[in-house]
Amino acid sequence: MEIPGDQTYHSEDMGGPQKRAIALMSGGLDSALAAAWTKRLGFEVVGLNLATGFCTGQGRCDAVLAQGLALGIPVRLLEVSAEYLEVVKHPKYGRGQGMNPCLDCRIFMLQKAKEVMEEEGASFVVTGEVLGQRPMSQHREALELVAQESGLGERLVRPLSGRLLGPTFPERMGWVKREDWLDIQGRSRQRQLALARELGIPQFTPPGGGCCLLLERAYSKRLRDLIREKGVDALTKDDFALLRYGRHFRLGPKVRVVVGRDETENAALLSFPGDHHVLEFPDVPGPVALVLGEPSAEELREAAELAARYSDAPKDTPVRVLVRRNEDIREIQVIPWDKDDPRLARLRIDR
C-alpha cells in the first residue's frame, strides 16, 4: 500500500548508481529526522513502514503517512507479521528484559528494507538509529553486527550518528562528505527535538521502547506463561493476538481465562476464532470471558465466578451466566468472587 503520489523507481531510469535511499520509518521522531535529513542532502527518499503485528500505537501508520506527506516522501506500508512471528519465536541473539528480540528484529527489518532497496533501484538504506541511545541494540558493536547480518554493510546509513560511525556507501561514491552526517549520540533527545522544528516534522509517536508489545511487562509475562503451556513452536498468530486483550488468569496447567476490560475488548473477544468457552452476563452489565483449553466442570464454574467479580452483579447475590461453546449454549448461576479475594492475585498471569 502506498500513499497517493507514490511512484515506483527503476534502476534503468538513470545511468549508474542511483542517488536514492529507502528510509525505514516507524512513525517516531528519529526515523522521520533521518529520512528528512537524507532528503535535505539531495537524495530521493522512499519511506518504508513494516507492520510486524506487535506495535502498540493506535495511529502509527497515520503518523508515518502524515510525515511522508509533509516531507514530500512517498511511503510504502509492508505487512510482514507472519514472517516476523518466526523471529519472535526463535531469536538468534536472544531477548531483552521483556520478550523483545531487539537485534533479531532489527536484522529482519533491514533485510526487508534491502529487498525493497533492490526493487526500487535504490542504493542504500537509512534508519534513525542513534549511537548509545538504546543499551541492547544501539551500541557500536550491535550496530556493526546488524549491518553485517542484514547484508547491507556500508549501504546501511544512520544519518543522525553518521559522523561517529564507519564509512558509508554514499561517502565512498562522493555523493556526501563525512561532515554532512550528524553526530548525535546518547539518550537525550534535545537535539532531535530542535531538529524536528527546523525540518518541519509534523507529528511523531512518543519516544522510547513502549511502542512494542514485546517490551511490555504484562504482555511478556502472558507470552512466557503461554510458551510454558503450549511450547513456542505450537504458538499461532491468533495466540499472539489474544495476548493483547483483557485480564489473563490461569486456572490449571492447560486452562486459561481471559476477561474483557471494556466494550471494545468484549467485542474483540466475542469475535475471536477458536474452539473455546465464551461466558456472558445477560442480566447485568459485565465482561465477556473466554475459557481456553479443556476445563473441568469445576474449573468452568470457577471461571464464571471469577469473571462475575468484574460484572455489576450485587455482592453475595447469584448471577446468571451464559456458557457458549460453538452451537452448545447452557446457563449456570454463580456467586461472584469478592474484589479482595486472594485467588484473583494468585491466578492472575500478568502481574
Q: How far is CA 329 from CA 187, 282, 321, in A?
A: 55, 13, 10
Mean pLDDT value of segment 118-146: 91
Q: Which tens digit of pLDDT belongs to each residue from 247-259?
A: 999 999 999 999 9
Locate 252 and state its grid cell: 490449571
Average pLDDT taken over every residue of the chain: 90
Instruction: With a cut of 60, say whether residue 5 has pLDDT above it.
Output: no
CA neighbours closer than 13 Å in the CB half-sphere of residue 299:
18
User: Is residue 209 scored above 70 in pLDDT?
Assistant: no
The grid coordinates listed for 112 are 526487508
**CA-CA distance, 333 to 128, in Å (whole number)?**
56
Statement: residue 337 has pLDDT above 70: yes
pLDDT at 8: 34
Please give the pLDDT value at position 205.
67
Query: pLDDT class for 341, splitting at 50, 70, 90?
Result: very high
Give me the domains of the chain, ranges plus CATH numbers: 11-214 (3.40.50.620), 216-347 (no CATH)
The reported pTM is: 0.86
Cα 122 from chain centre: 27
Mean pLDDT computed over 205-226 = 82
Question: What's the mean pLDDT in 196-202?
Answer: 87
Which range among 75-79, 133-137, 320-324 shows the weakest confidence by mean pLDDT? 133-137
pLDDT at 26 over 80: yes
Q: What's residue 220's pLDDT?
A: 96
- Summarize pLDDT for 164-176 with one digit per residue, the tens: 999 999 999 999 9
What's the rounded mean pLDDT across residues 103-118? 97
Higher pLDDT, 206 or 142: 142
Q: How large is the average pLDDT for residues 124-134?
A: 93
Q: Which residue has the higher pLDDT, 18 or 188?
A: 188
**pLDDT tops 90 at residue 236:** yes
Share of the chain above pLDDT 70, in %: 91
Statement: residue 133 has pLDDT above 90 = no
- 272: CB partners within 8 A, 6+ apart: 238, 242, 290
Average pLDDT over residues 339-346: 96
What local confidence, expressed as pLDDT, does residue 59 receive? 53
Query: According to the model, what pLDDT value does residue 90 have?
Result: 96
Hey, how many other C-beta atoms are within 10 angstroms of the C-beta on 148?
12
Whether residue 2 has pLDDT greater than 50: no
**What pLDDT does residue 18 have?**
81
Residue 6: pLDDT band (50, 70, 90) is: very low
How do residues 83-95 score in pLDDT, each as one tens digit? 999 999 999 999 9
Weakest-pLDDT range from 161-175, 189-203, 335-349:
189-203
- pLDDT at site 193: 92
CA angle 72, 77, 79 (to 5 degrees): 170
pLDDT at 45 over 80: yes
Q: How far apart are CA 104 and CA 91, in angstroms?
A: 6
CB 336 within 8 A of CB 322: no
| Cell numbers at 148, concatenated | 553485517
Confidence of residue 15 (pLDDT cuts 50, 70, 90): very low
- pLDDT computed for residue 321 by the predictor: 98
Range scoring the smallest mean pLDDT among 42-46, 60-64, 173-177: 60-64
Q: What is the pLDDT at residue 207?
A: 57
Mean pLDDT for 10-28 is: 72
